[in-house]
């Protein structure tokens, strides 16, 4: 009988647990704890977003063409998405037994956070502030591209070496 995905992952986790040293177990416990804490934050943020939308709809104030409503709703949606991606990166540490969060994932989360900032940007924001945010996006994008390019080259080299 085939196990479900969750049951299989739990079995793999338990099989791996006995092979871990003290500090590796400590990292796993902390990662699991953080996963649950971030999950709680996601549920609360989604609940607050739902309440906000229900209140706006019930009062007839939800106008998608209103820039203020757009900023509010999509800013909150981006918070939930950022938290989901953050939780996913922590789960990857537990499931794949990586000892650290991957830099590529951190860069993607940072890009999401800066993208959120652009979505909720005030119209009166100074050009220097906008230029600074744009520079951060370019720097994060460039760093992500360099890391991804390096990973692709390593993968290509390992495929060529195995042939």
Pairwise pLDDT comparison (56 vs 99), residue with the higher score:
56
**Domain span including residue 126:** 5-162
- Show the CA angle centred on residue 139, arms to residues 135 and 140, nearest 5°: 115
Instruction: Please report which confidence band the pLDDT of residue 142 belongs to, taking 50, 70 and 90 as the band edges.
Output: very high
pLDDT value of residue 103: 80
| Side-chain half-sphere CA neighbours of 92 within 13 A | 13
Q: What is the mean pLDDT of residues 53-70?
A: 79
Helices (H), the chain: 5-17, 22-58, 67-96, 103-119, 127-162
Which of these ranges, 2-16, 19-33, 63-77, 112-126, has the smallest mean pLDDT? Answer: 2-16
Nearest to 104 by CA among 143, 78, 153: 143
pLDDT at 140: 92
Q: What is the pLDDT of residue 1?
A: 44
Between 153 and 135, residue with greater pLDDT: 135
Please give the pLDDT value at position 98: 56
Give the residue-averaged pLDDT of 71-82.
Answer: 86
Q: What is the mean pLDDT of residues 5-26?
A: 74
**CB within 8 Å of 141: residues ≥ 6 apart:** 111
d(CA 146, CA 104): 10
Higher-scoring residue by pLDDT: 89, 40: 40
Q: What CA dihedral angle connects 149, 153, 159 and 161, to 10 degrees? A: -170
Q: How many residues are given for the chain?
A: 163
Most confident range, picked from 24-28, 75-79, 118-122: 75-79
When divided into structural domains, the chain yields a total of 1
- Max CA distance (Å), the chain: 66
């Amino acid at each position: 009988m085939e196990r479900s995905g969750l049951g299989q992952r739990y079995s793999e986790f338990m099989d791996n647990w006995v092979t871990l040293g003290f500090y590796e177990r400590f990292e796993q416990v902390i990662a699991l704890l953080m996963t649950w804490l971030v999950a709680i934050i996601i549920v609360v943020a989604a609940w607050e977003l739902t309440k906000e939308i229900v209140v706006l709809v019930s009062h007839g104030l939800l106008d998608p063409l209103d820039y203020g409503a757009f900023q509010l709703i999509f800013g909150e949606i981006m918070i939930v998405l950022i938290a989901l991606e953050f939780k996913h990166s922590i789960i990857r540490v537990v499931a794949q037994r990586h000892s650290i969060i991957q830099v590529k994932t951190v860069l993607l989360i940072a890009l999401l956070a800066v993208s959120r900032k652009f979505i909720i940007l005030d119209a009166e924001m100074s050009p220097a502030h906008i230029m600074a945010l744009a520079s951060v996006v370019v720097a994060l994008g460039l760093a992500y591209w360099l890391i991804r390019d390096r990973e692709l080259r390593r993968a290509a080299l390992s495929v060529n070496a195995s042939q």
